[in-house]
Structure 1
Amino acid sequence: MFKKILIANRGEIACRVAATARRMAIRTVAVYSDADANANHVRACDESVYLGGSAPKDSYLRWEKILEAAKATGAEAVHPGYGFLSENEEFAQACADAGLVFIGPPPSAIKAMGLKAESKQLMEKAGVPLVPGYHGHDQDPALLQREADRIGYPALIKASAGGGGKGMRVVEKSADFAAALASCQREAINSFGDDAVLIEKYVQRPRHIEIQVFGDTHGDCVYLFERDCSVQRRHQKVLEEAPAPGMTEAMRAEMGAAAVAAAKAVNYVGAGTVEFIVEQRDGGAMNFFFMEMNTRLQVEHPVTEAITGLDLVEWQLRVASGEPLPLKQGELKIHGHAIEARICAENPDNNFLPATGTLQVYRKPQATAFERSAVRIDDGVREGGEISPFYDSMIAKLIVHGATRDEALARLDAALAQTHIVGVQTNVQFLRGVLATESFAKANLDTALIERERAVLFDREPLGLPLAAAASIARTLLDERATNTQGPFSQRDGWRSLGTTARIFAFEFRGETQTATLRYLHDGALTLDVGGVSGPLVMGRLPGGQIELAFNGGRHRIDVYERQGAAHVFADQGATRIAAIDRLAHAGDSQAEGGRLTAPMPGKVVSFAVKAGDKVAKGQPLAVMEAMKMEHTIAAPADGTVDELMFAPGEQVTEGAELLRMVATAA
């Protein structure tokens, strides 16, 4: 077994690998960029080596610097994690040439499976079912268009070297193909350095089910069952679970055998995932087709660990050091059900645009033991840390395990309710909404679930104005009670010798100004009138700072965090934000700016589709930005004329930066 390894990655996966290595008495070396100088993964390892600038190309993708760091620190092996260099055959070969063990498959396997077109041809020879499509080398746009027309619409354009939903577009009709192809190729070249694509028939009502495989250097290969990853946004996974709901033993064995055949076709070693698209037919029948193989450990590997009780990173280390697989196929068993939620810094209500900022509050549910844990959190961040625009938007992975799927669902919702994040927008409330949908609860799964449930998933307000205002006012009153201790004449409790008095609070809630009236009664009781609801208000502070609140016929235990003039309210049924307004300071509304189009997040300007003087129509694409490895199109909010472009393609911009100016056409 290795004595020291270098982890060529960052964030939660680097922390995850370091934890297993520590348990196995293996020393670890971290690498880091400017942005990650104080990151958790640096603290989690025994040593650390600086790589360079914050952008991945200046640090985590500089494999020559990583190899130098491994040699300088005496590391015997390199664990690539996932992303970055994990599926780069040149890096794997460079490790071998440098006398280092690459903790992953051989370069030949990475190469064979890395190009989707070639891998499809290889799988066809191995007898693995394929989706109808074009996987050829000729990349002439006219040919690709003809192939898509032949296959039929909707068609899927997919970057041949891609992964993680990048470089992928669904095309509904022939007229849209050329523009979708150009966008897909542009994103592919930026993400993978290769703009080759393949074309496939877009399967209707598809499920995304993948098989975890593991091979060793002694020729053995097993499958560790399946994961259902059908719940996706922008072709990226949101929730993953194991085992897949509705999976029969016969189909599991058939898919497992196909996955092992795929792995053996490339002499696979280590952890890998064979991904299948599953076509659902009337009557419950399902057909599966090979989609791709990820030649690395997957983000969602913890759900497999939860249902098997195994540590897949330990398996990786043992296999890479030359040991045989710890278990044979017949010794592997499924125990219960596990679900993973990806907690990301993003705005679901704005097309899941990634968000950045400081984790002013980061409170997590209490985790249990690692082995088949009831609740597990994998993260690489801490309170006070920064979510930067340079890397993936994922903050943490929340994994739960239960005896049944229903138990796991209830446990996950409770754990998400205990996850409090302030300072950066997240998808936590969106995830709770997905769990509550009829489709997910009844395991009516396919990759269109989010779109199908759009009406109940987006623009949700789980608490409402009355409870949000009551919570904010309760926090204010309790803080006043705690600080006003100088005697009766300094109290701000509204007491009068006769009658009652009223106190007016003004708030900004969901973009609108609202008011609440708090009345102090002669006997010391309080009543609150807000949002059409009126009644007694009773509050108290519990040990640990939580507030117990009774209002509008309900009793609630809530947490309220006040940051930068806003109250962030967390309750069992959800969370919301409400901001107090100083009515004197806000007397006289400021005029809204017009004619400006600003960056919705920090990132790079990829291109402009217009120039100064162009007339544009509402909804017409104006510019393309790239942030956190994804492209985002900026569209015209109204008919008008472009006045001025404020940046050039390739320039980095901050959130809110004015990209271009336009003059709206007079109504």
Structure 2
Amino acid sequence: MVIKKLLIANRGEIVPRVMRACQNLGIKTVAVYSEADKNMFYLKNADETYNIGPANPVKSYLNIESIIDAVKSSGADAVHPGYGFLSENASFAEAVFAGGATWVGPPPAVLKSIDSKCYCRQIATEAGVPVVPGTITIISDVDEIYRFASEYGYPIVLKLDKGGGGKGIELVKEEGQVQAAFERLSRIGTLAFGHPECYIEKEIINPRHIEIQFLTDSYGNCVCLGERECSIQRRYQKIIEESPSTVVTEEERAALFEYTCKLALAMGYQGAGTMEFLRSENGDFYFMEVNARLQVEHPVTEFLTGIDIVQNQIKIASGSELGLAQEDVVMNGHSIEARVYAEDPVTFCPSPGKINKLVFPQMDEKTLRIDHTIEEGGAVPPYYDPLLAKVISWGPTRLEAIANLSRALNDFKIEGIKTTISVNHLILNSDRFASGDLNTGFIEALFKTARGDVKPLWPNM
């Protein structure tokens, strides 16, 4: 099939990113927007635009009926969901197909199956891929948690079977926390995802978070585009990502690629996706989950490999065979991405408002890329994820990539709202980051050190 007009069912920086891919493929674009986003500058670059509802995302970007109406009104023959919102929603994918359009993503049946993390853990176990020790089926009551903890010991982690985005994770350090954590997690699951079911994992102490970007087509082909180190997080959400990881050896990379393709093919996956793994302090890798969509940090991999992931998504969805073999994928140099959020740099609380002044770093397409949808005088609404921009650097070595990113962030000025640029500076300037000594507790440890002398370490607060 030939895709002629594609609707992007999302907002923010992913919209112009998908637009660029479509323009390179000769595909017309349709953008949707809420009342809060009606002045977004990228709307001017779309071939058509449609208002899908008020600012409340439940009534706009999460409103399947409203988006499908826009698909039908525009005559779009394909839908790209971006990331977040409805990007992994099987019901939305089914509605797109029912409306006669092509879904740029995994088939709805696959989305429905892998929405369950326990299902993915079962598939991994059957395929011989190691998983984090824990249950591979949902737990029925709190007594099951006590029994698990008596066998494996504390700390343990309770996770929602269906949920994501850093939500639905409870760390339990001792027996007295079990009942409250179980009730709290069930309540969050019901309210946020409509599913209170959860499972148990043994806490991996100070792990590294390593993910593998992959592409699969409908012909049984699978290639991996390298790994990304995503260990620098707060509240289980990533701040800085890089590739390659400083710790993954060639032998480990080959094993992770094998695990990834085994899992993707066993799931019947098609399109772009990410397999996420934890690496323990003693070097063991465990499969954690699959992200069935385009990742926020995909530019890191694109910079490193020169492969356009979004174009490949669209080609695969149109029925094309993946024109890549594993030996065609070359990881060149080093790439790092820093996310800039409209958040207080100490508390990480959202900081919506008006951007009074905006200065971008000097651009060099070989070493720097900034994906954003901000402009001077523009508003940052309080209704959505506070991500403002992604600053991605490249260098022939990791040290040069860090230097390029540091210079760019130093020249990136946003006034009128609080941002996390100073947090990125703090991370990049730390000795631990420079040495590659990373784990998911990095931010917490860094903050404990920094707060003793906040002003010199946190510029422009």
Place the TM-score, normalised by the shorter chain, in its bin.
Answer: over 0.9
Give CA deviations for 1:486-545 in whole Å, capped at 9, x if unaligned. Answer: xxxxxxxxxxxxxxxxxxxxxxxxxxxxxxxxxxxxxxxxxxxxxxxxxxxxxxxxxxxx
CA distance in 2: counterparts of 1:28 and 1:273, whole angstroms: 26
From 284, 290, 294, the counterpart of 1:287: 284
From 340, 343, 368, the counterpart of 2:340: 343
Label 1:106 to 1:459 Cα distance change in 2 as closer, same or farther (>3 A): farther
SS in 2 for 1:95: helix
Give CA deviations for 1:604-631 in whole Å, capped at 9, x if unaligned. Answer: xxxxxxxxxxxxxxxxxxxxxxxxxxxx
- Do the aligned partners of 2:142 and 2:178 also contact (CA within 8 Å) in 1? no
Residue 363 (1) aligns with residue 351 (2): no
Question: Which residue does the alignment assign to 1:649?
Answer: none
Label 1:304 to 1:460 Cα distance change in 2 as closer, same or farther (>3 A): farther
- Do the aligned partners of 2:360 and 2:411 also contact (CA within 8 Å) in 1? yes
Question: What amino acid is aligned across from residue 334 of structure 2 in structure 1?
Answer: H
Question: What amino acid is aligned across from residue 409 of structure 1 in structure 2?
Answer: I
Shift of 1:195: 1.9
- Do the aligned partners of 2:426 and 2:458 also contact (CA within 8 Å) in 1? no
Residue 434 (1) aligns with residue 422 (2): no
CA distance in 2: counterparts of 1:189 and 1:412, whole angstroms: 41
- Do the aligned partners of 2:213 and 2:273 also contact (CA within 8 Å) in 1? yes
Question: Which residue does the alignment assign to 1:136?
Answer: 137
Shift of 1:456: 3.5
CA distance in 1: counterparts of 2:68 and 2:29, whole angstroms: 14
Moved more, 215-224 or 172-181: 172-181
Question: What amino acid is aligned across from residue 136 of structure 2 in structure 1?
Answer: H
What is the alpha-carbon root mean square deviation over aligned residues?
1.6
CA distance in 2: counterparts of 1:426 and 1:331, whole angstroms: 39
Question: What amino acid is aligned across from residue 6 of structure 1 in structure 2?
Answer: L
CA distance in 2: counterparts of 1:269 and 1:308, whole angstroms: 20
From 403, 408, 413, the counterpart of 2:401: 408
From 349, 364, 373, the counterpart of 1:353: 349
Question: Which residue does the alignment assign to 1:560?
Answer: none
Give the alignment of 1:135-174 within 5 angstroms.
135-174=136-175
Shift of 1:40: 3.1
- Do the aligned partners of 2:162 and 2:195 also contact (CA within 8 Å) in 1? yes
Question: Which residue does the alignment assign to 1:297?
Answer: 294
Shift of 1:180: 2.2
Label 1:149 to 1:32 Cα distance change in 2 as closer, same or farther (>3 A): farther
Question: Which residue does the alignment assign to 1:255?
Answer: 256
Question: What amino acid is aligned across from residue 132 of structure 1 in structure 2?
Answer: P
Shift of 1:574: 6.9
SS in 2 for 1:365: coil
CA distance in 2: counterparts of 1:51 and 1:413, whole angstroms: 39
Give the alignment of 1:386-405 within 5 angstroms.
386-405=379-398
CA distance in 1: counterparts of 2:393 and 2:263, whole angstroms: 30
More strand per residue: 1
- Do the aligned partners of 1:11 and 1:40 also contact (CA within 8 Å) in 2? no
Question: Which residue does the alignment assign to 1:4?
Answer: 5
Question: What amino acid is aligned across from residue 226 of structure 1 in structure 2?
Answer: E
Question: What amino acid is aligned across from residue 24 of structure 1 in structure 2?
Answer: L
Give CA deviations for 1:523-572 in whole Å, capped at 9, x if unaligned. Answer: xxxxxxxxxxxxxxxxxxxxxxxxxxxxxxxxxxxxxxxxxxxxxxxxxx
Shift of 1:222: 0.9
SS in 2 for 1:94: helix
Give CA deviations for 1:457-494 in whole Å, capped at 9, x if unaligned. Answer: 3475555xxxxxxxxxxxxxxxxxxxxxxxxxxxxxxx
Question: Which residue does the alignment assign to 2:245?
Answer: 244
Give the alignment of 1:352-501 within 5 angstroms.
352-369=348-365, 373-458=366-451, 461=454
CA distance in 2: counterparts of 1:5 and 1:450, whole angstroms: 39
From 304, 320, 327, the counterpart of 1:307: 304
Residue 42 (1) aligns with residue 35 (2): no
CA distance in 1: counterparts of 2:239 and 2:452, whole angstroms: 18
Taking every aligned residue pair, what percent have the same amino acid on both sides? 42
From 310, 314, 317, the counterpart of 1:317: 314
Structure 2 unaligned residues grouped into runs of 5+? none
- Do the aligned partners of 2:6 and 2:77 also contact (CA within 8 Å) in 1? yes
> What TM-score does the superposition give when structure 2 sets the normalisation length?
0.96
CA distance in 2: counterparts of 1:381 and 1:184, whole angstroms: 35
Higher relative contact order (CA 8 A, sep 6+): 2
CA distance in 2: counterparts of 1:459 and 1:355, whole angstroms: 24
CA distance in 2: counterparts of 1:194 and 1:146, whole angstroms: 23
CA distance in 2: counterparts of 1:312 and 1:189, whole angstroms: 34
Who wins on radius of gyration, i.e. which is larger?
1
Give CA deviations for 1:248-270 in whole Å, capped at 9, x if unaligned. Answer: 11100000100111100111110
- Do the aligned partners of 1:149 and 1:174 also contact (CA within 8 Å) in 2? no
More helix per residue: 2
Give CA deviations for 1:53-108 in whole Å, capped at 9, x if unaligned. Answer: 11111001111221121111111100000111110111112211221110001112
Question: What amino acid is aligned across from residue 224 of structure 1 in structure 2?
Answer: L
Label 1:219 to 1:439 Cα distance change in 2 as closer, same or farther (>3 A): same
SS in 2 for 1:324: coil
- Do the aligned partners of 1:151 and 1:200 also contact (CA within 8 Å) in 2? no
Question: What amino acid is aligned across from residue 247 of structure 1 in structure 2?
Answer: V
CA distance in 2: counterparts of 1:459 and 1:398, whole angstroms: 28
- Do the aligned partners of 2:342 and 2:352 also contact (CA within 8 Å) in 1? yes
SS in 2 for 1:354: coil
- Do the aligned partners of 2:155 and 2:173 also contact (CA within 8 Å) in 1? yes
Label 1:377 to 1:274 Cα distance change in 2 as closer, same or farther (>3 A): same
Shift of 1:25: 1.9
Label 1:35 to 1:160 Cα distance change in 2 as closer, same or farther (>3 A): same
